[in-house]
Amino acid sequence: MNGQATVIIADDHKMFLDGVRLILKSDAAVTVVGEAMNATSLLELLAASAPDLVITDLSMGDMKGTDLVRSIKQRFPGTKVLVITMHHEQEIISEILFAEAEGYLLKNSGKKELLAAVHDILNDKTHYDKEVLDLMVAKVKNDHRQETIRKDLSERELQILKLIIREYTSKEIAEALFISKLTVDKHRMNIMEKTGAKTLVGLIKYAIAAGIAG
């Protein structure tokens, strides 16, 4: 992140907008350049200002939240998206994941996690609430396996992928599988290359498609 990042916030509740604005105002690295209370206004603001980040709710009234995220990513590919919502249903989370949103927080998150998510995303990382990740891992466990996708990975790589999506570090994976951390790191690189994933969220998306249980 170079210089001060620009942010637009969107929610159909004024009190929530005010709260997010106050939190972001405490961070000198970001500046709020616009606010919207419906999807139409948000898309108009995006067309006019092209911010670095949009922080939006999913319940915007005039457009389905998942459609809004897809529209933002398709029309404004340079703008990153952080969803903050009360929704924690697996299907909605999965749709947002596949719509390529960089972050997903639940509205019970605190100031510290919001700012951490903003900074992660602005530094080209992803940030999904731990509860959300747990739900996605549960979905992976419940989905049917698709052998045609899974066959790209070796058995050892599958073992390591299952631990990665459970948020094990390389050191913890090495200890669990009785191999060296260097070996784990090499396998991790191979997994990223084979799956085309660049982040934990990308690996979870692959695991969902492949039906790989954690």
Rounded mean pLDDT, 49-58: 94
- Go through the domains of the chain in sequence order and give each one's CATH number: 5-129 (3.40.50.2300), 143-210 (1.10.10.10)
CB 131 within 8 A of CB 197: no
Q: Where are the beta strands (DSSP E) in 78-165?
A: 80-85, 103-106, 127-128
Q: Which of 38-42, 192-196, 206-210 has the lowest mean pLDDT?
A: 206-210
Query: Which residues on neighbouring strands pair with residue 84, listed in sequence order?
Result: 105
| Residue 140: closest CA among 195, 93, 76 | 93
pLDDT in tens, 107-125: 999 999 999 999 999 998 8
Predicted local distance difference test score (pLDDT) of residue 117 = 93
Predicted local distance difference test score (pLDDT) of residue 25 = 94
Task: In whole angstroms, give the CA distance from residue 66 to residue 93.
Answer: 9
Task: In whole angstroms, give the CA distance from residue 68 to residue 144.
Answer: 29
pLDDT in tens, 31-51: 999 999 999 999 999 999 989
Query: Which tokens is 63 given?
Result: 């457009």
CB 57 within 8 A of CB 11: yes
Q: Which helix (H) or strand (E) holds 155?
A: helix 155-164
Give the global pTM. 0.74
Task: In whole angstroms, give the CA distance from residue 35 to residue 27.
Answer: 17
Please give the radius of gyration of the chain, using alpha carbons only, rounded to the nearest integer. Answer: 18
Asked if residue 138 has pLDDT above 80, the reply is no
What is the torsion angle, in degrees rounded to the nearest 10, for the CA atoms of residue 29, residue 128, residue 174 and residue 180? Answer: -40
Asked if residue 202 has pLDDT above 60, the reply is yes
Helix (H, G, I), strand (E, B) or coil at 206: helix
